[in-house]
Structure 1
């Protein structure tokens, strides 16, 4: 059974750009073997990630994220059974906020700043779908 999970977390102090690149690289290397696809955004010290795949694989990955010392304030934004993936070809896509139209953030949030803690899970999911459609995603 396929599921989609979305969460937000804050990076612990001292997380560098190199650390983020290593997280993204590891995801892209390990996700295919686990059947996981998804999308990752990192902005102003906040992670937002969507993971898709089998229920057991997604649950195990989320458990590792919650226990990972590089994350704090891990908050589940959404979890649902799905008939098909939104990101089937991406071992892990990355949101490029420089390509993102500021008006798109304003459409779904109170300010022009990405703050998943102040948005509903449904609004965050809709924003991710529009990011994909607008070409704001980088895929390795």
Structure 2
């Protein structure tokens, strides 16, 4: 499958920054089936682990999904969304993307009750293409009052 010069650079950089090899390791642990995708991406389909709960997620240039190859081939918008995540690994020099993504997910969950709606990484990858629905913001006052009102031990 054809790949542009920049996509080839991203493939090399995401290999050297260890994000794609980390994806390969996760795919092996999850007993996924590997195949080549478009634009320098690789797929790990039929991923068996329950974590993360997402239908697809990306590590470097590797898109992992619990679904089969036909599922991902029939969703070009989802592939574009995941490819945007692969560029995020490129620009953030690989694995530092993971804790930053988790911070973004925590912020989003705090503000909306959803880990994607206000996560800057998901927003930059296009929420709709990732099959996410944008949830409304909760006022911080409401969030913090809800945290304070919980009984101890829960």
Same fold (TM over 0.5): no
TM-score, normalization by structure 2:
0.26
TM-score, normalization by structure 1:
0.27
Q: Is the strand fraction higher in 1 or 2? A: 1
Give the structure with higher Rg (CA). 2
Q: Is the helix fraction higher in 1 or 2? A: 2
Question: Highest relative contact order (Cα 8 Å, sep 6+), 1 or 2?
Answer: 1
